[in-house]
Amino acid sequence: MSRNSGEKANPEMKIHTHRIVAAKLAVALLLVTFLQFSCSETPELLANNNPEKYTLAKDVLWASPDGFDLTMDIYTPKSGKASYPVVVMFHGGGWLINNKSIMDQSAAYLATNSAYVVCNVNYRLLGDEDNTVTLDEIVGDAFGAVLWVKDHIVNYGGDGARIAVTGDSAGGHLAAMVVNMGNRLGSHPFSEQSPLFTPAYLPPGKTAEQVVLERGLDVQAAILSYGAFDMYQGALEGFEGIMNPFWLASGSIARGIFGDGFTADDNPELYQAVSPLYHIPDSSERQLPPQLLTVGSEDSLVTPASVEAYANLLRSAGHSAEYWVHEGRPHAFLDSGSNMMLGTSFEADAPAALDVMISFLDGVFY
């Protein structure tokens, strides 16, 4: 049986992604917000980013939901293959800050050191469109990006039938939503009565319902780095209020992820619908692709215990899930630049993790 909104996970396995003392989590969030101001003081090593090894199509427009332009950067290796598997990448930032540029160095590293087309995606943030965007719409953006890639990536040397999704933090959540909820699409507005997602892009002439019938959002692999998997429990424990530093950094007035007037207590179906934890199918019903879950051993925002527990839930449902801990690293070890507050830098922290990711992808695709 799938874990749907009417079922509860085993209490011993329950993940409380944000079950941390409120003050400690608030401090962690404040630290993460400094990532948007991070910068690299030294030139990049060619081993990390060698533009001679790939071509880059910058700011490719892929959708304009409600007139809001969404773009992606597409990196294509120059190693001479007729076609490459594709990595669709979603950035982190609490669904409120950052854009695809925070993943520039990770995307370039993959393009330099592996044989994959990399799509580094922009999606709407909660504070966009006059602070009216909701989390279900952001999920719809992630779904739309994957559908657009499947339709168009052949023009950039990619194979739309061989796709991996990845992301860190909020981006890890979105990648998990693609994997678990890519069959929960609908043409009607998202609601408690119909908690289905509308992709920001649909293939020409097709409805969301047709995409589901054709399994249009199936992907072949996923890498989830320190992602949030239980938005419902986190909201019950107050993470929306603790996110105030993110709202401050975004320049918008704080509100809930579904807008004013919606809470996890009153609207559990909405919050569970955006929580991958509640939608892990048994493999006898639907086989999920191989997944790699990564986290830093010193991450106090998304703890190793919570990520390992999610990996165990995937395995208990019959799915392939690898778990890797980046020893000595905190949250956001994949982000571009350096962060004095967190004590991280891309050059020191990201390459080892990216090499693990490449090895995992090669095991799936080559």
Instruction: Assign 3-class secondary structure to 171-214.
Output: HHHHHHHHHHHCCCECCCCCCCCCCCECCCCCCCCCCHHHHHHC
pLDDT at position 246 is: 87
Number of compact structural domains in the chain = 1
Q: In one letter, which amino acid is 317?
A: A
Q: Confirm whether 152 is domain-assigned.
A: yes
Q: Confirm whether 104 is domain-assigned.
A: yes
Domain that holds residue 173: 22-365
pLDDT at position 12 is: 44
Encoded tokens for 360: 């995992």
Residues in the chain predicted with pLDDT less than 50, given as ranges, are 1-40
251-279 pLDDT tens trace: 999 999 999 999 999 999 999 999 999 99
Q: Confirm whether 70 is domain-assigned.
A: yes
Decide if 57 contacts 156 (C-beta within 8 A): yes
Burial class (CB in 10 A: 0-12, 13-18, 19+), 210: middle
Q: Confirm whether 9 is domain-assigned.
A: no
pLDDT at position 42 is: 63
Q: Confirm whether 94 is domain-assigned.
A: yes
Q: Confirm whether 15 is domain-assigned.
A: no
CATH number of the CATH domain containing 44 = 3.40.50.1820
Burial class (CB in 10 A: 0-12, 13-18, 19+), 100: buried
pLDDT at position 340 is: 84
**CA–CA separation, 278 and 184 (whole Å):** 13
36-56 pLDDT tens trace: 444 445 678 999 999 999 999
**CA–CA separation, 222 and 175 (whole Å):** 7
Q: In one letter, which amino acid is 176?
A: A
Neighbouring residues of 330: CB distance < 8 A, sequence distance ≥ 6 = 296, 298, 299, 300, 342, 343, 344
Q: Confirm whether 13 is domain-assigned.
A: no
pLDDT at position 41 is: 52
Q: Confirm whether 263 is domain-assigned.
A: yes
CA 211 to chain centre: 21
